[in-house]
Amino acid sequence: MLTFTEEILLLMLDDDGLFLPIRGGAVEHVLAGAVLMDLAFANRIDTDPQQLLVLDGTPTGNPMLDDTLARIASSGETNDTRGWVDTLAREAAPGIRQQALASLVERGILETQDAKFLWVFRSRRYPMIDGRVEREAKLRIEDVLLSDDAPDPRDVAMICLVDACDLLSDIFSEREVERARPRIEQLRKMDLIGREVGSVIADIEHSITLAMAQISQ
Per residue in 73-128, pLDDT (tens digit) is 999 777 899 899 999 999 999 999 999 999 999 999 999 988 766 656 667 888 99
Per residue in 160-184, pLDDT (tens digit) is 999 888 888 888 888 888 899 999 9
Burial of 198 from C-beta contacts in 10 A (0-12 / 13-18 / 19+): buried
pTM for the structure as a whole: 0.88
Task: Tell me the three state secondary structure of residue 123.
Answer: strand
| Terminal-to-terminal C-alpha distance of the chain | 51
The residue ranking higher by pLDDT, 115 or 31, is: 31
Q: How far apart are CA 181 and CA 123, in angstroms?
A: 36
- Whether 11 and 167 have beta carbons less than 8 Å apart is answered as yes
Kindly report the CATH number assigned to the domain that includes residue 199: 1.10.3630.10
| Sequence-ordered list of residues with C-beta below 8 angstroms from that of 86, at least 6 positions apart, any chain | 29, 32, 200
Q: How far apart are CA 177 and CA 171, in angstroms?
A: 9
Per residue in 32-85, pLDDT (tens digit) is 999 999 999 999 999 888 889 999 999 999 999 999 999 999 997 778 998 999
For residue 209, pLDDT over 70 is answered with: no
Find, among 7, 4, 3, 5, the residue nearest to 132 by Cα.
7
Count: domains in the chain: 1
Q: How far apart are CA 207 and CA 23, in angstroms?
A: 13
| Sequence-ordered list of residues with C-beta below 8 angstroms from that of 30, at least 6 positions apart, any chain | 8, 161, 164, 165, 197, 201
Q: Hey, which bits of 86-205 come out as E strands? A: 113-117, 121-125
146 confidence band (pLDDT: 50, 70, 90): confident
Cβ neighbour number for residue 81 with a 10 Å cutoff:
25
For residue 185, pLDDT over 70 is answered with: yes
Q: How far apart are CA 47 and CA 40, in angstroms?
A: 8
Average pLDDT in the 192-208 region? 77
Percent pLDDT > 90 in the chain is: 46
Percent pLDDT > 70 in the chain is: 90
| Alpha-helical runs (H) found in 16-152 | 26-41, 63-74, 81-91, 93-106, 132-145
Task: Tell me the three state secondary structure of residue 205.
Answer: helix
Range of the domain at 151: 4-216
How many residues would you count in the chain? 217
Helices (H) and strands (E) in the chain, counts: 9, 4
